[in-house]
Amino acid sequence: MKHSIKNSVISGTGLLLAISLFIATIILANTAFTTWRIDLTENKLFTLSKGTKNILNNLDEPVQLDFYFSQKAMNDFPLLANYGVRVRDMLEEFTAHANGKLILNIIEPETFSEAEDQAVASGLRTVSVNATSDRVYFGLVGANSTDDEKVIPFFQSNRESALEYDLTKLVYNLAYPDKRVVGIYSQLPMISSRGDKTTETWTIINALKEFFEVVNLNENIEALNEKIDVLMLVHPKKIKRENLYIIDQYLLKGGKAIIFLDPLAEQDRTQPDATTPDVMPILYSYLDELLEKWGIEIAKEKIVADINAAMRVQASSPRGPQEIDYLPWLRLTEKNFNVDDFSTSELNLIHMGTVGSIEIIEEGKLEITPLIESSKQSTKLERDLILFQRDPTVILSNFKSDDKKLLIAARLKGRAESVFLEDQKNNDEIIKDDSFVDEGDLNVILVSDTDILADHFWIRKQDMLGVSVPQPVSNNGDFVINSIENLSGNTDLISLRGRGKYSRPFLKVETIRKQAESKFREREKELQVTLQETEKKIQQLQQEQGNEKSYLLNNKLTAEIDKFRNERLATRKELRSVQHDLRKNIEKLGSQLRFINIGLIPLLITVLALLIGIYRANRRI
């Protein structure tokens, strides 16, 4: 008996020690390991990409981030509040990897405070979230040591998959604040020369100048060197070999490029040769030597036709003008874009004309990421049919779907060889110096259309007080600017991709909530109708009472009015009760979920552990 009591005491003491050790471990973990993190989310949402870590590890100068977050005012909006916490956690993760070069301030601005004044002065936007007009701040202001500022005015929930990219880009642009340089080499009349009143600079060039320093390489291709961050190569046709050599070496030595090629450039105004007027001039782009080295081609005699994306145009018919699908012109929407690439993730609409198809002729040479694709209801039409047939109905009659998507724009990355390997072996004079590289890492965005750049396809001019102002009607310009902005960053920034969604709603719970709300709303509607009818009856009786001279009838009407007033009070009371019950039920549901997630599961695990401990102790007895 004594032995049994002794064992029980020992077991009880051991159990108390185990509980004490458990509590001590939790306290120790909360104090000593605050910087330790384990990311158990499905898409590793809180694990920074290698590219982001590299940028943060290599910061030379300190960068200050002021995160304005009205957390208290967001309490009634849990989705927004949760997103705010995630942004804060991501910023703290950034700080942890920046070796002290990232200074994070979390600010909750009070109304009429200096912090609010500073937020407004920095260009942060606010939203009103309740009847008391409380203003919510949810933005970021970044500054570097030279007082350059970058701002995210308000974190939009539809950008949550791009959160890491947006934050990394902001930090990168503050760490390297100089304007990126874009070199343009084009055989289309995109840039008007001085004194030339017949050619107008395209809107896309003016748009690029707002974001980048633009250099016209047509006048001096030899200026294409490491000082050019991105080459924009448009519709090359008859490039001299020495110029092709400069482009080849620029790309292999780490230069980035966005290249626009076209099987039928509608903006190419080349006229037939006077000696051979019956021969069609070359209207297609030619960069075959480079494309072959990259394991791809764009067929010069084929045009992409997509019945799902065909643009509607006015065409004449025996019955008069009518709208019809014009297959060579494409109106591409979100379903045609890669939502995981930052060049295309935010686009809604792109207009293109007489587009080519990018074909992979040698698998595995490069990593090819589709950016823009046709739908499966597509085919390739003969270019001559488009050139010589002006009747859209005839072109439409030639359409037969190949039931496969066609690649229109792609990101090309990987190891590539020089076009001039043989020239180098043969000591050709084109190889000018010892800096020749025979291979290098390629980083290019290739687009099989040049008309995407032309004003005709994405700009409408509006007269504003006598001034012609260009108004975009599609995202053509956004695509070009996004792509160049992405390419102009370093390779770490380019490597980032969209992450999964943070928001993981409880779908079953949401369904229950909606069903409950629907039931309450029905009752609320019934009561509102009853209330309106009661109000109407009271008004009618009051009018009758005013017109009625009989004392007895007046008393009767007064009694009726009092009766309906009581009904009105009862209805309003029930209405308030219904609204209260709705809020109470939703809050109860939320509380139950919080208890299950925060309290019940850990409690069950603890109870299970205690039972196992007791069971083992009893077995030893």
**Per-residue pLDDT tens for 443-494?**
999 999 999 999 999 999 887 656 677 889 999 999 999 999 899 886 777 6
Residue 252 has pLDDT above 70, yes or no: yes
Residue 556 has pLDDT above 70, yes or no: no
310-347 CB burial, b ≥16 within 10 A, e <16:
bbeeebeeeeeeeebbbbbbbbbeeebbbeebbbbbbb
CB 501 within 8 A of CB 160: yes
Which candidate, 242, 231, 486, 457, places its Cα nearest to that of 355?
457
**3-state DSSP call for residue 483?**
helix
Q: What percent of the chain has pLDDT over 90?
A: 44
Residue 404 has pLDDT above 90, yes or no: yes
**329 membership: H or E segment, kind and range:** strand 322-333
Residue 29 has pLDDT above 80, yes or no: no
Token match 């995160």: residue? Answer: 67
C-alpha distances in angstroms, 580 versus 132, 335, 479, 518, 574?
Answer: 20, 43, 49, 14, 10
Sorted by where each begins, the domain ranges of the chain are 50-174, 181-300+347-373+407-488, 507-620
Mean pLDDT, range 150-157, rounded to an integer: 92
Max avg pLDDT among 125-134, 316-325, 510-519, 590-599: 316-325
392-399, Cβ contacts within 8 angstroms, sequence gap of 24 or more:
392/313, 392/315, 392/324, 392/325, 392/326, 392/327, 393/315, 393/317, 393/324, 395/305, 395/326, 395/327, 395/328, 396/324, 396/325, 396/327, 399/305, 399/307, 399/327
Amino acid, res. 566: N
List of residues 6+ apart from 530 with CB closer than 8 A: 567, 571
Residue 317 has pLDDT above 70, yes or no: no
**Per-residue pLDDT tens for 229-248?**
999 999 999 889 999 999 99
50-174, which class in CATH?
Answer: alpha beta
CB 520 within 8 A of CB 526: no
Query: In sequence order, what DSSP letters do the residues of 411-431 get, joined into one string?
Result: EEEEEEE-TTHHHHHTT-TT-
**3-state DSSP call for residue 477?**
helix
Residue 502 has pLDDT above 50, yes or no: no
pLDDT at position 461 is 84
pLDDT at position 551 is 47
Chain centroid offset of residue 134 CA:
29
